[in-house]
């Protein structure tokens, strides 16, 4: 065997090794991105359910739940009132109209039956709703308060539910600044930062 054949075989083997390393590196990155996207999709789904629970809690109790135990108890045992709104318009003597609005409570339904029923969420386990997917058992951070807004210092209700340990390395930057969350600690919003 001459030197040319030996060098050709060595370079071929080296090229195959480098090619395999490149392929496995790219394959790993793609699989990792798919894994992160799947976990974040499950986190977003849970945050959307928690937002629905918080909105119902606010409508019933006049404030947001500041802990998972309060929200969980409300979801499991709370009731939402069914209210009918009727308007009556009267024509006054001087040509103006007066609108009288009447509210009538028709009954109530369980929060679990109306918002979190098996038809909407067939695999829902309420006890696990506050556990962050892919976190090894960590739970969402809850915050609720009243903050002052405007020149008249009007108190508004705010809440924030946040992922404490993002799987995505980009979301972990600057002390989890971009972590998935719904609501805000300073604004009256119920939107999530993924929307």
Is this structure's pTM higher than 0.85?
Answer: no
Per-residue pLDDT of the chain (195 residues; tens, 9 = 90+): 788 888 888 888 888 888 888 887 787 788 888 988 899 899 999 999 999 999 999 988 889 998 999 999 998 888 888 888 899 888 887 878 888 898 888 888 888 888 888 888 888 888 888 999 988 889 999 999 888 887 788 889 999 999 988 888 888 777 777 888 999 888 888 888 888
Print the SS3 string covering the chain: CCHHHHHHHHHHHHHHHHHHHHHHHHHHHHHHHHHHHHHHHHHHHHHHHHHHHHHHHHHHHCCCCCCHHHHHHHHHHCEEEEEEEEEEEEECCCCCEEEEEEEEEEEEEEHHHHHCCCCCCCCCCHHHCCECCCCCCCECEEEEEEEEECCCCEEEEEEEEECCCCCCHHHHHHHHCCCCEEECCCCCCCCECCC
């Amino acid at each position: 065997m001459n030197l040319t054949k030996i060098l050709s075989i060595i370079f071929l083997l080296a090229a195959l090794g480098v090619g395999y390393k490149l392929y496995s590196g790219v394959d790993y990155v793609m699989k990792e991105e798919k894994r992160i996207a799947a976990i974040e999709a499950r986190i977003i789904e849970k945050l959307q359910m928690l937002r629905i629970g918080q909105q119902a809690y606010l409508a019933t109790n006049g404030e947001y739940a500041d802990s998972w135990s309060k929200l969980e108890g409300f979801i499991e045992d709370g009731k939402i009132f069914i209210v009918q709104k009727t308007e009556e318009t009267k024509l006054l003597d001087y040509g103006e109209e007066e609108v009288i609005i009447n509210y009538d409570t028709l009954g109530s339904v369980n929060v679990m039956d109306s918002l979190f029923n098996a038809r909407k969420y067939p695999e829902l386990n309420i006890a696990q709703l506050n556990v962050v997917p892919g976190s090894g058992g960590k739970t969402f951070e809850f915050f609720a308060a009243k903050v002052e807004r405007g020149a008249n210092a009007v108190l508004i209700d705010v809440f924030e539910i946040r992922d404490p340990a993002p799987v995505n390395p980009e979301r972990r930057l600057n002390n989890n600044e971009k972590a998935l969350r719904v609501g805000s600690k300073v604004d009256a919003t119920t939107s999530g930062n993924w929307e």
